[in-house]
Chains A and B, each alone.
Chain A
Amino acid sequence: MTENSRASATAPAPEGASPGRSRAHRPDFAHLWDRYGILGVLVLMIALMAVLAPNFLTLDNAFNIARATSINAILAAGMTLVILTRGIDLSVGSNVAVSGIVAVLLWTGGMPAAVCVLGGILVGALFGLLNGALVAYLALPAFIVTLGGLTYLRGTAYLLTDGQPLVADDLGYQLMGNGFFAGVPVPVVLMLLVCLVLWFVLRHTRFGTEVYAIGGNPEAARLAGIKVRWTLVRVYLIGGACAGLAGVIFSARVMSGQPTAGETYELDAIAAVVLGGTSLMGGVGTVQRTLIGAMIIGVLSNGLLLMNVPFFYQLIIKGAVIVLAVAIDSLKNWKRS
């Protein structure tokens, strides 16, 4: 060994760092913020609401928040993968409507509940596949492809329902939205399940490593033998399947197929991903942090509601909090460089 190993390159790294997560090495503020900052924001938010909002700190309300967050969290978990590859999926909100409607249509058409659920998820996944194929194989910009998807899927939703809600009072899979599993609302269980699965996929599978690699450096990924296009297709397919599941849950919750379901949900999902610290430049981020991002949005909405803050103000506050959180994040990056 020569003596020219550099202090800057030999500081201890945090234990258990993973791709996209192993960042600074010094136990300074930037590092602490990196690892726990977003969790701190959530805890702070909960503490604040506990003081300000009446009846905030109850188990019932905790379930309310979790249930209200579940659909956004599921969409955001799928969106995390898409954004990790430097992409975006604006079509998930409209996809929620279409897949929910298809699930209800299958039920009214006499299919068993399980087929309706799987059918809804499958429809979502298929539109994800279409987005992915256009992005990967025709090299079209994801923003444009999925902006188109947002529009034509909404049109499809109206077409399938003739513009009217498709009510099904006897919906066989309604426990997907309103049921409980071991005392926990089913949508919450599904949310945790989706996040757990996608955490495992990103952290412990070959596909997960390929996702980070493609987002970090697409050309290097190709030259390292990764099948970039095929991986991208699977990423959008997973994002679409998450939208399909969210659509099924939504339709179960309201026991109907709503053509207006999921409007602007894509924006909430992107907000959760970004709040969770995933870089829009790709390659950096995790699903568990996205889940925390979604929770922050959920806690904030719920607290404002309990405080009887007028809806218009709720929107203004929510928007400001998102911008503020991202501003803090980029300020930290700016200071480090």
Chain B
Amino acid sequence: MSGSPLLRMDGVSKSFPGVRALTGVSFELRPGEVHALMGENGAGKSTLIKMLAGVHSPDSGSIEIDGHPVTVDSPQRAADLGIAVIHQELNLAPNLSVAQNLALGREPRNRWGLLDRSRLREEAVAKLERVGADIDPDTRVGRLSVGMQQLVEIARAVAQDARVLVLDEPTAALSESETQQLFTLVEEMRRRGMGLVYISHRMEEVYQLADRVTVFRDGQWVDTSSREDVTPEQVVSHMVGREFTDLYARTRRAPGEVVLEARGLGDGSGVGPVDLRLRAGEVVGLAGLIGAGRTEVARLLFGADPARTGEIRLADRPVRLRNPRDGIDNGIGLVPESRKEQALFLDMAVRDNIVVTGLGEVSDLGVLRGTRITRRVTEQVETLRVRCSSALQRVRHLSGGNQQKVVLGRWLAIQPRVLLLDEPTRGVDIGAKHEIYKIIDGLARDGVAVLVVSSDLPEVLGISDRILVMRNGEIAGELDHDEATEESVMLHATGVANGAH
């Protein structure tokens, strides 16, 4: 614990019209340190990052680099000061090659003033090598996986001699192996004396990587501790301002009849044959690695994609699901993987986002009936405790957790028999997670058959009565709540369990 800090922010405040985003917070980063920054959505993490990136300037307070006060008033200035921010939404030109992206804005030129292609390529190879990335510099960036793109962006930051690197939810869209690769790289950058600000909702990662953990809540600094001095439970209670006893809210449930059954279900291109049964009042977890076919199965069971093989039976009656409307008419709902891309109408009101699945029920001869809409919407907003100023507020202005509740409300309103949830708590803060788990538990107790696709292993283990593990488009194993562990799920997911038989 020695050495002067690389970066020091002291008493920093920032207000936006009507909102105090940060109030007198302090933050410090030492060379060779990974400093995790945690907090719920809206705690002020993004505002802090944007100050480092030169997007916002603080209203008051100071920023120092190597003990010298600095003003970070533009992204260019941030880069000059050696600060690089890797955002959740990556900042690359997808139609250009890796090499071109790495050199963006400082392309090497030959003596005619034209782009020097061979040098561009050589430099790219060297830059990629520094971060241990095995990527062909001629590949177009848009063709790379998200993890690879992230590597390219880190390579660019490292090449520009960044000393402060901010990683904002870097693993949110990475596969398991990509995550491991990132962790190795983080260690390497730490060893070189860079300072890393690491933002993540995933406690395991924070405990694996961070030297210190700082927690913000409601725009204020709450705590900074060394990793050894603070338990995950303490971090969570710092984040939400109260204690959590039972995060997953799973109560005793008594599964009933089989509601939905799939036999030999497949999409004709790599997924299937899949056999599965969902019972009334049961929560089934669908686990597996990214690309194992979990999302595809959920979409087939809803009718989002038509099944090419096999059959689906609802209450022992065969049904054909050719499109989402068929799914809805049969009492099946799907909360899709990506909230903003696949579920929400961001510029429409909370009200419209909820009634959209039941427009036929709230209209007569195509004319909307206000009282029926209000009743339907109010019921969901109240039972789900959606925090919005009114049902007419645009969904864009809600937090991630409240947006997800609006999507849930849309499906609860059709009173489904089967609800399929694909990554229902992704990008949602821990308080809202807990509420979503309670909603899932409530649904199961009301007799709904619930299938939850999730990459978050503790979540799957915590909420499911039964866990199905997928691998290579098929169900590779089934585990009961009591026998399932992270290890047993991973063994099935990676195929080790089957190979042993």
Tell me the A residues contacting B by CB distance below 8 Å.
1-20, 22-23, 25-26, 28, 204-210, 212-213, 216-217, 219-227, 283-284
A13-B390, A13-B392, A217-B346 known; A206-B368 Cβ under 8 A: yes
Residues 355-385 (chain B) with a chain A CB within 8 angstroms: 355-357, 359-360, 363, 366-368, 385
* Given A9-B389, A9-B402: A213 touches B345 (CB 8 Å cut-off): yes
Known contacts A2-B431, A4-B42, A26-B18; is A220 also within 8 Å of B389 by CB? no
In the complex, the answer to whether A18 meets B349 with C-beta atoms within 8 Å is yes
Main secondary structure of the interface of A (DSSP, over half): loop
Q: Which residues of B (1-46) have their CB < 8 Å from a CB of A?
A: 16-20, 40, 42
Please judge, given known A-B contacts A206-B359, A220-B345, A223-B336, whether A17 and B392 are in contact too, CB under 8 Å. yes
Inter-subunit contact B392/A210 (CB<8 Å): no
Interface residues of B in 308-338 (CB under 8 A from A): 323-325, 327-328, 334, 336
Task: Give the total number of A-B pairs whose CB atoms are below 8 A apart.
Answer: 148
Contact of B387 with A by CB under 8 A: yes
CB of B294 within 8 A of chain A? no
> With A9-B402, A18-B349, A223-B334 known to touch, is A205 a contact of B366 (CB < 8 Å)?
yes
Whether B360 pairs with A10 at a CB distance below 8 angstroms is: no
Q: Check if B346 sits within 8 Å of A213, measured CB to CB.
A: no
B223 within 8 A of A: no
Q: Which B residues lie within 8 Å of A17 (CB)?
A: 349, 392-394
Q: Are A22 and B366 in contact (CB under 8 A)?
A: no
**What are 11 A-B contacts defined by CB distance under 8 Å?**
A4-B241, A5-B387, A7-B20, A13-B389, A13-B393, A19-B347, A204-B368, A217-B346, A223-B334, A226-B359, A283-B348
Contacts of B357 in A (CB 8 A): 224-225
Pairwise interchain contact B356-A213, C-beta atoms closer than 8 A: yes
Whether the pair A209, B352 counts as a contact (CB closer than 8 A) is: yes
> B352 touching A25 by the CB < 8 A rule?
no
Residues of B near A207 (CB, < 8 A) are 366
Q: Is B343 an interface residue (CB 8 A)?
A: yes
| Besides the known contacts A217-B341, A223-B304, A223-B334, 12 further A-B residue pairs in the complex with CB atoms under 8 A apart | A6-B399, A8-B18, A9-B402, A12-B390, A18-B392, A25-B397, A26-B17, A205-B368, A216-B348, A221-B356, A222-B304, A223-B324
Interface centre among B346, B359, B366, B368 (most CB of A within 10 A): B359
Chain A, residue nearest B345 (CB): A216
Give every chain B residue within 8 A of A213 (Cβ-Cβ): 345, 348, 352, 356
Residue of B nearest to A23 (CB): B394
A217–B344 contact, CB under 8 A?
yes
Q: Give A284 to B394 CA distance when docked, in angstroms.
A: 12
Nearest CB in chain B: distance from A28 CB, A: 6
Taken together as a complex, chains A and B put the C-alpha atoms of A208 and B362 apart, in Å, by 13
Question: In this assembly, does B388 line the interface, its C-beta being within 8 Å of a C-beta of chain A?
Answer: yes
B342 part of interface (Cβ distance < 8 Å): yes
The verdict on B261 contacting chain A, using a C-beta distance below 8 Å, is no
Confirm or deny: B163 has a beta carbon within 8 angstroms of a beta carbon on chain A: no
The answer to whether B394 touches A22, judged by C-beta atoms less than 8 angstroms apart, is yes
- The answer for the CA separation of A224 and B359 in the assembled complex, in Å, is 10
Alpha-carbon separation in the docked complex, A222 to B392 (Å): 23
Which residues of chain B are near A224, meaning CB under 8 Å? 324, 343, 356-357, 410
List the 7 shortest-distance A-B pairs measured between CB atoms, nearest first: A216-B345, A225-B328, A206-B359, A6-B42, A206-B363, A225-B325, A17-B392
Q: Is the CB of A8 within 8 A of B349?
A: no
Does B19 contact A206, Cβ atoms closer than 8 Å? no
B148 CB-CB contact with A under 8 Å: no
Contacts of A7 in B (CB 8 A): 18-20
Closest to B242 in A: A2
What's the nearest-Cβ distance from chain A to residue B429, in Å? 8
Measured between beta carbons, the chain A residues less than 8 angstroms from B410 are 224
| Pair A212/B348 contact, Cβ less than 8 Å | yes
Which chain A residue shows the least CB distance to B360? A206
Q: Judging by beta carbons under 8 Å apart, are B387 and A222 in contact?
A: no
A28 to B367, CA, bound (A): 35
Residues of B within 8 A of A221 (CB): 345, 356
- Asked if A283 meets B345 with Cβ closer than 8 Å, knowing A19-B352, A22-B393, the reply is yes
CB distance from A215 to the nearest CB of B (A): 9
**Cβ B389 vs Cβ A25 within 8 A:** yes
The answer to the question of B153 belonging to the interface, with a C-beta cut-off of 8 Å to chain A, is no
With contacts A4-B218, A213-B356 taken as known, whether A12 is within 8 angstroms of B389 at the C-beta atoms is yes
B388 and A9 contacting across the interface, CB-CB below 8 Å: yes
Q: Is the CB of B347 within 8 A of A4?
A: no
A210 touches B359 (CB 8 A): yes
Interface residues of B in 200-245 (CB under 8 A from A): 217-218, 240-242
Bound-state Cα–Cα, A315 to B92, Å: 41
Query: Any chain A CB within 8 A of the CB of B398?
Result: yes
Q: Which residues of B contact A217 (CB under 8 A)?
A: 341-342, 344-346
Task: Report how far A207 CA is from B389 CA in the complex, Å.
Answer: 27
The interface residues of chain B lying within 8 Å CB-to-CB of A210 are: 359
- By a CB distance below 8 angstroms, the chain A residues around B368 are 204-206, 208-209
Q: Verify B345–A212 contact, CB threshold 8 A.
A: yes
**With a CB–CB cut-off of 8 A, which chain A residues contact B342?**
217, 219-220, 223
CA of A9 to CA of B18, assembled, Å? 10
The one of A5, A15, A220 that contacts B343, using a Cβ cutoff of 8 Å: A220
